[in-house]
Chain A
Amino acid sequence: MKKKMIFSDFFKNNGVVMGTLLIGLVSFWLIFLIILPQLSMLDYSFRFNLPPAEVGGPKDVYTLSNYEHLIYGSDSTHQTYNTVDLKVFVRTIIAAMLVTIFNIFLCYPLAYFLGQSKGSGFVRLLVVLLIIPYWINEILRAFALRIIFGDSGLLNEALMFLHLTSEPIDFIRQDIALYAGLGYAYILLMLFPMYNVIESLDRNQIEAARDMGASWVHIHRRIVIPHAKPGIVSGATMVFMLSAGALAAPQILGGPSSLWFTQLVYQWFNDSLNWQQGAAYAIVLLASTIIIVLTVMKIFKVNMGDIGK
């Protein structure tokens, strides 16, 4: 009954043509581009990888085998664990967290500096300089880092020139290039939300605290950080989700033996052509990242509505 009223109100406000158009576009987006695709991926992840002729036949039943494969590997007796894939998964999650924390510490001072010194020409120049790398392709940015971190790259040449090392360091095999690249790729998504909230902080609050004798650390802990919390959490969420789900940077900067979890998904889809297995891995990635993000948001008491501001 109530629902009917809402709809009739909606059409009264917008007219029949516009109302239908609006509802149609929004429901197309939500139903056909978001909800149904996610559900069909979930459904897929519980099915066997059957040849086309057997789909819909008696063998086409639900199964947990795709998820079991992640935990136990191809061993059907469940005696041993699939250490390779599990290790990749854990490494991906932990590394994404570390990248996020690194970015918070690197961006906070700059966001504070930019947010609190308003309008000068120098600050405007800095903002323009920040926007430029933002629009360079992710792959080209990873490529740029590969040039620097390569075997005969600039960094190795410089280190050897300064006699800090006599042999080239294999940054790529040691994953240093990968972590630097992930931090590099999404750093601006951390900076801008932080900058936006700090800019909205009234300067007088800081001055008042300073006049009352608050120390520098105190001002940040009691005034700036609480005010900037939604921005920090929103930036951290974006960076964490994007680095955990990154594909280009690990493909280009990752060592030959060490994989990122998204690369496993990619392999199941494109090399093994086992979509069901790939879908199960993708669901695991999605579910675990969402759980982590929601937990962090709960701990820091931040709402979903603060994201994307």
Chain B
Amino acid sequence: MSSANLIRVALGAYLLIFFSYLLGPLVVMSLTAFNSSSFPTVSPWACFSYEWFDVLFNDKHIRDGIYYSIVIGIGTVILSVSMGLAASIVLTQVWPKLRSTYYTMIIAPILIPGVVLGISTLVFWDRAGAFFGATDGSFLYGLFHNGIFLTILGQSSFIASYAMLVFVARLQRFDTDLTEAALDLGATHTQAFRKILLPFMRPAIASASVLAFLASFENYNTTTFTIIDYKTLTTVLAQKVRLGINPSISSLAFIIIVLTIFAALAFEAANRNKEHKLAVKKGKASERKSGILPSFMTGNPAAILLVLLAFVVIVMVGTAQKYSPETCKIEVREAKQIAIQQRIEQLKEARRLKDEAKAATQSDAPAAPTTAAPKNSGAFGNVFAPTNLSDEDDAAPKAAPKDGNGAFGNVFDPNNLNSE
């Protein structure tokens, strides 16, 4: 009994650790989107504010990046889904002895590092341009050095493998007799493909397209080499993060996280609804009684959560129009100024006491400078709590500049200039 309990506790602790490793960083990042501090952080919490969303929406680079990401995503979906579908159909018909070699070849791009794919695409099309004798300024040269064209090709080379895997799973359940029957009845091969195989593959095509679009949208390693003059959302983000971070990136992340949760909940809710309807049909479950909630929500926690989330988002957007953190910001700024003053006083005091102590030891009269540390620092609460607590007993000047850096390093952050 107790060992079973022990296992259960261990499992709970393990799940907790795993999911906090997985989700904790995302939660913290989302929170930083609402802190008015110009450095993405949660612990000296300044003011609740929506201003970083404003900064985000007014950022031209990010808007351009999203636009090109979508264009490239659509191109990649079309190319990679059709190549993946063709490859999976060929896989079902290929000569058995060739089959494993062929499979290795079409699965390999998943395992090739994205950096290598990007470089090889770039090098190959540059070479192809030279081979065709395309000179600078000609159409072919322009095409083979066009970031969008190259990125679509580079991304499709491995995303087609993902699509292929989705199709192979679905094709295994396809009954080839259906196609043969259609052919016997006089359909052409093209008609049989269009009327029989394609409708059967439609769910797989839909999921492969979503997968391909998302994979393209978030790809960085390949894109960063092939994109050349253009930029996608990921390359813009990478550049921003490397140059200096500010919370508008957190606000973008927050939006993406909310959208993902929306999609996941909607998918789950639709699935449950379908399952329930199936169960009703088979007579395994009773028709839902229409209670207070609309019928699609009863017994479907995902749907309830979905509606709640939508409500929260609407409330947030609504308050964002009216809410202004100005008063709070002024207060924080004043508090900061007072804190700086206090700090300076404290340092002066410490230096004075030290000098006195020195004088005292020199004159052989040991005055006790034990209560040297000023008490008033407590008033600023959590803002400076960690540093204050640690150097209460020796407010030595050498530690001071360092602390200052950590505690109100924001003041000197160049990003401040943009926000204020």
Contact = CB atoms under 8 A, between A and B. Distances in A.
Interface in B126-160: 127, 130, 153, 156-157, 160
Contacts of B253: 136-137, 140, 143-144
Contacts of A64: none
B268 interface: yes
Contacts of B268: 124, 128
B238 A251 contact: yes
Given A15-B190, A144-B253, A137 B234 contact: yes
Contact of A41 (B41, B123, B265, B391): B123
B241 A142 contact: yes
B86 A25 contact: yes
Interface of B is mostly: helix
B124 interface: yes
B189 to A, nearest CB: 2
Interface in B384-406: 385-387, 389-391, 402, 406
A278 B119 contact: yes
B252 A279 contact: no
Contact of A152 (B41, B95, B217): B41
Contact of B190 (A10, A18, A152, A278): A18
Given A34-B157, A147-B29, A140 B19 contact: no
B270 interface: no
A152 B409 contact: yes
Contact of A305 (B103, B105, B214): B103
Given A161-B385, A238-B110, A135 B260 contact: yes
B136 to A, nearest CB: 10
Interface residues on A, range: 35 or more
Contacts of A154: 28, 41-43
Contacts of B38: none
Chain A CB within 10 A, most for which of B90, B106, B261, B302: B90
Nearest to A33: B157
Interface residues of B, number: 98
Contacts of A290: 111
B25 A30 contact: no
Given A269-B119, A269-B225, A248 B238 contact: yes
B113 A245 contact: yes
B95 to A, nearest CB: 5
Contact of B110 (A144, A161, A308): A308
B414 to A, nearest CB: 16
A150 B109 CA distance: 35
A245 B117 CA distance: 11
Contacts of A15: 188-190
B279 interface: no
A18 B193 contact: yes
B28 A136 contact: no
A144 B301 CA distance: 29
A140 B256 contact: yes
A228 interface: no
Interface string A136-161: 11111111111110111110011011
A5 to B, nearest CB: 10
B418 interface: no
Contact of B245 (A13, A37, A146, A168): A146
Interface stretch (B10-18, B52-60, B318-326): B10-18
A22 interface: yes
B47 interface: no
A108 B14 CA distance: 11
A136 B26 contact: yes
A244 to B, nearest CB: 7
A41 B115 contact: no
A232 interface: no
A252 B235 CA distance: 12
B273 interface: no
B303 to A, nearest CB: 13
A38 interface: yes
A269 to B, nearest CB: 7
Given A34-B108, A132-B257, A252 B238 contact: yes
Given A22-B89, A152-B409, 20 more contacts: A6-B95, A25-B86, A33-B121, A34-B108, A36-B124, A40-B120, A40-B124, A128-B264, A135-B260, A138-B220, A143-B253, A163-B390, A187-B22, A241-B113, A245-B115, A247-B114, A262-B113, A293-B111, A305-B103, A307-B107
22 contacts: A13-B93, A23-B90, A30-B105, A34-B157, A36-B124, A41-B123, A113-B11, A124-B268, A128-B265, A132-B257, A133-B23, A136-B256, A137-B256, A138-B220, A143-B253, A147-B25, A147-B41, A161-B385, A166-B391, A245-B115, A282-B116, A304-B100
